[in-house]
Structure 1
Amino acid sequence: MTRHAWIDASAGIAGDMLLGALLDAGASLGAVQSAVDAVSGGTVRIRTREVTRGGLRALKAEVEPLADDPPHRTWHDIRGLLKNADKATAVFRRLAEAEGRVHGIEAGDVHFHEVGALDAIADVVGCCAALDDLGVTTVSAGPVALGSGTVRSRHGRLPVPAPAVAELAKGWQVSAGGDGELATPTGLALLRAFARACEPLPSMTLDLVGVGAGARDLAGHANVVRVLVGMAEGGTATEPEKTEQTAVLLETNVDDLDPRLWPGILAGLLHRGASDAWLVPIVMKKGRPAHTLSVLCPPALADTLREQIFRDTSTLGIRHSPYGKVALDRGFADVTVGDTRVVVKVAHRDGVILQVMPEFEDVAALARRQDRPERLVLQDALAAALDAGLVVGAELAVHLRPS
């Protein structure tokens, strides 16, 4: 049996809404405040009050800054504050990477503005501490309402979903769900970092229900996030890496495209959320050399990626087939090579490490900075993983964060 939490974000999600729901479900406010104090240095206080949203009682979590004019921070600044807070680090890494893609800059150079403010740090660290206090070991969530219309930002009016929200939502089931901005970057980053599956309410023995309130009392629906916590049997859909998953394979044959375009096309498909994308050389009618483009993706992304293939290639038709796949459990850990962090992907099953591989983009970036061959930096990263106990065949003894 495992203690499972299911997040109902059908009316949207924000960091303070999820924190309110977890506190309403029974997480200790004292434990949450202590965790936040350890990061913020006692510069914020979390308060709660009961409110009504759409006729429903809900708990509103509010973060009160105790410091004037809190500074904006980069991802590097926040990572230094979080230190060993792996779950919170994973949330902010998702935010940094999404904002970086939106603005075309490196994740480490992202200035978070509202996201980097003390209240957002409190929301993220507080939610992580609340899950730990409730004893939750697995999390899943339903589809997320993102909203519609426009929202005002420091860059002017932006369409809803805002660009960072759209990046964070890739691969997840979403809907408009109503007018205005219903999902914030912080809220969606929390959900994506915690939840291992997008699914209806799974089978479990329900213990706790928490309802967290948004700032506004909207017409037409209750502006709340719900969290349902209970005991679920292991090996259910709440742990998708141990069961067969569904996927869609998109394929097309192309014989009239400049081959120099293929690397960019593959990279673009992977960037948009494809699980994998590859080319196979083939010979078509009249002896023409050609390629078969294959793209494996979650069913929710099939339409989006199909449109991208039509846009970026010269194909006139795309085949699609449903597939089942079984994937190993996997997560990420950080090791240090010299004075630089390198992310290592670790695949495991039943508590035993089966694969260890440094992320090659980190290796290549470090090799460029050090002006050294990539193969030597890769060897150093593998040695650092070995020193950290990440050894194939060994028991998994370190905490891994999700992708």
Structure 2
Amino acid sequence: MAAAARLAWVDATSGVAGDMLLGALIDAGASLPAIRAAVESVIPAAVALSVDEVSRAGLRAARLRVEPLIESPPHRTWRSIRALIEDAELPEPVRDRALAVFGRLAQAEGRVHGVSADEVHFHEVGAWDSIADVVGVCAALHSLGISRLSASAVALGSGRVRTAHGEIPVPVPAVLELSAGWQVVSGGAGELATPTGLALVTALASECGALPPMSLESTGVGAGTRDTPGRPNVVRVVVGTPVAEGGRDELVLEANVDDLDPRLWPGVLAALLAEGASDAWLVPILMKKGRPAHTLCVLAPVERAAALREAMFRETSTIGVRETAVRKTALERTWVHVPLLGATVPVKVAHRDGEILQATPEFDDVAALARKLGMPVRTVLEAAVAAAVDQHLIPGAELP
């Protein structure tokens, strides 16, 4: 089976951090040279990555080490990190995923600190090692050919932790913000989940739940820094190929918007389709206090979900995107060009087992021909339907 059909499940029931997840993916078979190349492309000559084997509460695990090669790395804003990633020579899926993770992190940090996402100063998150964790995880997923990621409930921890802003309670505010809509548990004492780890899981995983049905290929165990007696401080990753597939796993991404100039909506829908959405549409709604609004709905292939979430934040004024996992079963389709009024127009033919179930002239091509001929679109459309029938492109007919 092609690598593009692979899926991975993250076991974060003991917590999650960026270096732990990256260590687990490397342990599961991701290419360390490819990961190093991706990180080097974003922050050249800044860090060195290495992996060694350690024990955590008696379990073998891979420990990722990120060694700084420069002194006093600067604090960075989301705007500056975005520029680094956009300018780097990265495979498109790696770039899209990395932008989605940092975009989600910036939204959360901005909400916590009351500033715009672009102006968030990441402090710990903006340091070289965290950029390496995010870009490294995205490169590891690409190396393994992972098109679908899911994860367990996440252990967040308890107690207090010291940060650049002072001593704050665990879970830290950014972790709680990132956990919205996800299943979480306390799980133990200390900071078990970091903002970077939560951003990676919630931005890249399409669903939260138990290990999905798969034909298992490899597993990986990534170690945290501490070795806590009686509780393995690890993240596990399970990689395999899906079984018993009766359709295609996709996501419905939704956002309620009540403050966008309505003239922008056609461009927003077009941008989302260009970004790889299977479909995009608007639903008129009435929000609290009687405000008219729209729900923007995007049907997203799992592998394009991260990029489409980022596009929704970029193209609209929404401050949150919710998502639902769905199963899409689509008919096979092909295109047949039929002669019409001295030209040809494509007819989309949906079929199954060699039998035509639907045949529809492509409206945009019909409209373009009508404009060229100076005829009403309705007239040309009726002629296109008749031309399709003449070619026996009708429900129940055999596929030509």
Task: Using structure 2 for the length normalisation, give the TM-score.
Answer: 0.63
Show CA shifts across 1:79-121 (max 9, x none): 0000061110111001110000000110000000110011000
Please say if 1:135 is aligned against 2:138. no
Counting only pairs closer than 5 Å after superposition, residues 161-180 of structure 1 correspond to structure 2 as: 161-180=171-190
Q: Find the counterpart in structure 2 of residue 49 from structure 1.
A: 52
Partner secondary structure for residue 58 of structure 1: strand
In structure 2, C-alpha distance between the alignment counterparts of 1:22 and 1:15, rounded to whole Å: 11
Change (3 A) 1:329 1:44: same
Of residues 132, 135, 138, the one that matches 1:125 is 135
Q: Find the counterpart in structure 2 of residue 317 from structure 1.
A: none
Q: Find the counterpart in structure 2 of residue 207 from structure 1.
A: 217
Please say if 1:107 is aligned against 2:117. yes
| CA positional deviation for 1:9 | 0.1
Change (3 A) 1:177 1:230: same
Q: Aligned letter for 1:8?
A: D
Q: Find the counterpart in structure 2 of residue 116 from structure 1.
A: 126
Please say if 1:76 is aligned against 2:75. no
In structure 1, C-alpha distance between the alignment counterparts of 2:153 and 2:246, rounded to whole Å: 19
Q: Find the counterpart in structure 1 of residue 198 from structure 2.
A: 188
In structure 1, C-alpha distance between the alignment counterparts of 2:227 and 2:33, rounded to whole Å: 28
Q: Root-mean-square deviation (CA), in Å?
A: 3.3
Q: Find the counterpart in structure 2 of residue 8 from structure 1.
A: 11
| CA positional deviation for 1:149 | 1.1
Q: Find the counterpart in structure 1 of residue 249 from structure 2.
A: 239
Counting only pairs closer than 5 Å after superposition, residues 328-347 of structure 1 correspond to structure 2 as: 328-329=299-300, 331=305, 332=308, 342=315
| CA positional deviation for 1:239 | 3.0
**Is contact 1:12-1:223 (8 Å) kept?**
yes
* Runs of 5+ consecutive residues of structure 2 not aligned to the other structure: 87-91, 259-283, 332-400
| CA positional deviation for 1:159 | 1.1
| CA positional deviation for 1:327 | 7.8
In structure 1, C-alpha distance between the alignment counterparts of 2:248 and 2:150, rounded to whole Å: 6
Larger radius of gyration: 2
In structure 2, C-alpha distance between the alignment counterparts of 1:226 and 1:144, rounded to whole Å: 12
In structure 1, C-alpha distance between the alignment counterparts of 2:237 and 2:163, rounded to whole Å: 29
In structure 2, C-alpha distance between the alignment counterparts of 1:156 and 1:9, rounded to whole Å: 27
Change (3 A) 1:150 1:166: same
Task: Using structure 1 for the length normalisation, give the TM-score.
Answer: 0.62
Counting only pairs closer than 5 Å after superposition, residues 287-366 of structure 1 correspond to structure 2 as: 328-329=299-300, 331=305, 332=308, 342=315
In structure 1, C-alpha distance between the alignment counterparts of 2:69 and 2:241, rounded to whole Å: 38
Q: Aligned letter for 1:164?
A: A
Change (3 A) 1:111 1:351: farther
Of residues 169, 187, 202, the one that matches 1:159 is 169
Q: Aligned letter for 1:66?
A: L
* Runs of 5+ consecutive residues of structure 1 not aligned to the other structure: 246-262, 264-275, 282-290, 297-325, 336-340, 353-403
Partner secondary structure for residue 21 of structure 1: helix
**Is contact 1:22-1:131 (8 Å) kept?**
yes
| CA positional deviation for 1:156 | 1.9
Change (3 A) 1:343 1:66: farther
**Is contact 2:74-2:127 (8 Å) kept?**
yes
**Is contact 2:54-2:60 (8 Å) kept?**
yes
Please say if 1:147 is aligned against 2:118. no
In structure 1, C-alpha distance between the alignment counterparts of 2:18 and 2:299, rounded to whole Å: 30
Q: Find the counterpart in structure 2 of residue 229 from structure 1.
A: 239
Change (3 A) 1:173 1:47: same
